[in-house]
Amino acid sequence: MEDKVESQVYALGNGLEDMIDAKLSALQLRIESTIYSLENRIEDKIDAKISLANTDNTHDRMIQRRSTGKVDFQHDWETYEKGFGTLDEEFWLGNEQIHAFTSSGTWELRVERKRCICAIQ
Task: State the pLDDT at residue 32.
Answer: 45
Mean pLDDT confidence for 13-40 = 52
How many domains does one find in the chain? 1
- Which is higher by pLDDT, 76 or 103? 76
Write the pLDDT tens digit of every residue in 65-75. 888 788 999 99
Structural domain span for residue 86 = 2-117
What DSSP letter does each residue of 54-120 carry, written as one string? ETTSS-EEEEEEESSS-S-----HHHHHH-EE-TTSSEE--HHHHHHHHSSS-EEEEEEEEEEE---
